Structure 1
């Protein structure tokens, strides 16, 4: 029922919504239109103008930081509303003179630690914000009441998870009665259906310990698993049941980072410490899997960021634990291709940082007379256009070793930044251990930051 610039929701299919739910537009699918007021999500044409209504975008793959194809860089075409929200916040602070530190709103989190946040239309008709805990709890954000409501399981509970924030991801698949969320847990690959009217969820599970987060390929979800001590791939397509395929791989079972997608070659890559799992679809849609081990003595450190991508393909940074040297190897090639690197670097997959020095390619060396190493830069997300970046700046470790920074459990003075690449930065500072284990995300015209070690959830909003 319209009420000025808002509306009141009486019932959905004769069911009265619970009082704990304030986001009625999420429940009903109503959304604001430029002409004023709200329209039901099922409307295809405007009753005011008769013109076709713009289709509402669906964020199907919730990668760790919102990058295209699982990486840490995004373009406006593929990742709205991330670029527009970041640019609007940057402009707002520039006009007002307000600092990022002062503009932050502290939100009480549903759990003190171990959370991964994602947007999905599951249980509603526009994107809702969910928080999944590593202990197996699921919560739904209510912006009207500024609090989280827990969802209770109907049957099996959501499984626990050992995946770190930077290694996690979720998928949304369309279904007849709403969207379903694909999640990787220790209990299996979980397909989660949400009923927001009853504040509950139900799980359809492909049993087997998940070794990596789900990846999206040709509108299907793929989750690497351990099943009866063997490698396995759980596959789910919209409207279909789980399919599990045993893989014959000469590789030790291990946890993998969130996958990188190569749509042009219909491939997914999951990076592990000892090698990479690649999954490919052929012209008939048949699945093949391959394991590529790293050269002897070398290991990957996926926390540093995704593989660097250039015109030739994907290049993974490796560290020789014996000789303390760095190397880049090209993924998914018949013959090995390698390049030496002068030192380790963090990466978005597009831009690289050797400590605080920004370089286009990870094998480049910088002029030490022009640049001095002063701190560590850890990029979470690079926005290609406009040139913005979400990042972390932290002091150099005493050993001046990049890996020692990520191995340390010491509390550091961390500065989280929204910065113009090569230009001005807005910052939020706090003292915390493991500051890289944080998650930036955009939801509801706001930028959010979750710092797991501190249990701190922050929000920066645009004027409504």
Structure 2
């Protein structure tokens, strides 16, 4: 509402009106807008309304009509506010279905590129973004004290936070707004993930990330170039957080090698705590997965598990791997079968064979697999061929075993059958290739039941470390050794 001439107190913040111009003075969190953020960037952060002037004049996002002329105002597309939590785009924990599986390489977003049939491997990307300062980043896209999605880059190892200013085409650091400073994280790249939760009372989101001081709840305020953070748990996180049963859970290192699980709600309030008293070696931990009544953190020695019992109590347990069996995280996500079971791809050193081990229950169940499979969730690849058959079943017409090409599925859509994959050629076998540090040629491809379209090619060390994310209506590919972040418009 307008409190007095020239000043508007609105949910998006405090605005000042001078003649025909509107400018954000304070953000919704009551902080001054940074002098380093232009009016165009403020408009982008907030999803501000605009008129048909050239250049357009911006108005608070709450406005639908110009207070000067009465004409209807334009507004950014609604899709701009859909959130993305790294690394694979799970929906915010309090907006999706409570029965959705989480932690797989699956997103609830469509992955079909625009003009798909016209794309070629040698084509240039549609758009580019400069890299943040040197580091190994993860990317969030969500509303942060605003109505529109901002792009946030986080380097977990150095606890560095940056926001992308699309109008100025630069990354600027976010500084702490209070005494607390975000702590670093020592989890390996392949074991790191985050959760996003939408605030129940404002158009804002909080990030939940693992740190050496516990689970960090970060609330960025893009236009003021600041953030708030609270660390919950006061102990190092030994695995990444994952949501189930309306809480975000993370395992922490307790005394005497015990594992303490804490669960927090969307506001970052501690709501649950469970301790597994036995000593567990969490070296080699991988990404967690969760389902309606439980969550599993797979590690080198076995599976750490939280399970909600019939009386509503959450219990913690540990299940060792069958004898001579160890997990193969480099092959991607666990496989989600049509009956809801999770299967981890492993190797049995006694039989020298690949095997699949069921991980959503404590009782051991193991099945032999004939060939290595690279999996994104419900889809897996037998060398270069996409299939929905379980990894232990061979397709009827399997004729690609002699091929030196294989596809690494980077991201799968749960609202279609599209997969973004990385096609690589190697004469040393899949497992040896995935441990190579050498520069490797690769091709990005969109694969579906209809066809495969190759839309970009490159050459970089460890291309399988590429992180995909969706922001501003485009699919983006980031690799710390590639000069720019490449983007392709989505259909």
TM-score, structure 2 normalization: 0.78
1:62, 1:170 within 8 Å by CA — same for their partners in 2? yes
Partner of 1:168: 192
**Aligned-partner SS, 2:330:** helix
**Aligned-partner SS, 2:464:** coil
Following superposition, the deviation at residue 100 of structure 1 comes to 6.5
Q: C-alpha separation between the residues in 2 aligned to 1:456 and 1:57?
A: 22
Task: Classify 1:357/1:426 alpha carbon distance in 2 versus 1 (closer, same or farther; 3 Å).
Answer: closer
Partner of 1:72: 105
Q: C-alpha separation between the residues in 1 aligned to 2:144 and 2:375?
A: 32
Task: Classify 1:227/1:213 alpha carbon distance in 2 versus 1 (closer, same or farther; 3 Å).
Answer: same
Partner of 2:12: none
1:437, 1:453 within 8 Å by CA — same for their partners in 2? no
Partner of 1:152: 175
Residue 110 of structure 1: which of 114, 129, 132 is its match? 132
Task: Classify 1:420/1:161 alpha carbon distance in 2 versus 1 (closer, same or farther; 3 Å).
Answer: same
Aligned pairs for 1:34-53 within 5 A: none
Larger Rg: 2
Aligned pairs for 1:31-430 within 5 A: 62-66=85-89, 69-74=102-107, 79=108, 82-83=109-110, 86-87=111-112, 89-91=113-115, 93-94=116-117, 101-133=123-155, 134-153=157-176, 154-175=178-199, 178-206=204-232, 207-228=234-255, 229-239=257-267, 241-242=269-270, 244-263=273-292, 266-282=293-309, 285-312=312-339, 313-359=341-387, 360-366=389-395, 370-371=399-400, 372-398=402-428, 400=429, 402-421=430-449, 423-430=451-458
Following superposition, the deviation at residue 55 of structure 1 comes to 8.4
Residue 33 of structure 2: which of 13, 17, 20 is its match? 17
Q: C-alpha separation between the residues in 2 aligned to 1:283 and 1:24?
A: 49
Q: Which ranges in structure 2 are unaligned for 5 or more consecutive residues? A: 1-14, 91-100
Q: Residues 42-81 of structure 1, C-alpha deviation per residue, up to 9 Å, x if partnerless?
A: 6899x999xxxx988975672422256222234xxxx2xx
1:164, 1:437 within 8 Å by CA — same for their partners in 2? no
Partner of 2:469: 441
Following superposition, the deviation at residue 102 of structure 1 comes to 1.5
Q: C-alpha separation between the residues in 2 aligned to 1:437 and 1:131?
A: 16
Q: C-alpha separation between the residues in 2 aligned to 1:126 and 1:369?
A: 47
Q: C-alpha separation between the residues in 2 aligned to 1:37 and 1:94?
A: 38
Following superposition, the deviation at residue 411 of structure 1 comes to 1.5
Task: Classify 1:219/1:320 alpha carbon distance in 2 versus 1 (closer, same or farther; 3 Å).
Answer: same
Following superposition, the deviation at residue 244 of structure 1 comes to 4.7
Following superposition, the deviation at residue 233 of structure 1 comes to 1.1
**Aligned-partner SS, 1:436:** helix
Q: C-alpha separation between the residues in 2 aligned to 1:386 and 1:61?
A: 18
Q: Residues 126-185 of structure 1, C-alpha deviation per residue, up to 9 Å, x if partnerless?
A: 321111112210011111112111011233332222334443222223445643211112
Task: Classify 1:275/1:441 alpha carbon distance in 2 versus 1 (closer, same or farther; 3 Å).
Answer: same
Q: C-alpha separation between the residues in 2 aligned to 1:196 and 1:216?
A: 25
Following superposition, the deviation at residue 439 of structure 1 comes to 0.6
2:275, 2:316 within 8 Å by CA — same for their partners in 1? no
Task: Classify 1:163/1:111 alpha carbon distance in 2 versus 1 (closer, same or farther; 3 Å).
Answer: farther
TM-score, structure 1 normalization: 0.83
1:215, 1:259 within 8 Å by CA — same for their partners in 2? yes
Following superposition, the deviation at residue 424 of structure 1 comes to 3.4
User: Number of paired residues?
Assistant: 442
Following superposition, the deviation at residue 413 of structure 1 comes to 0.9
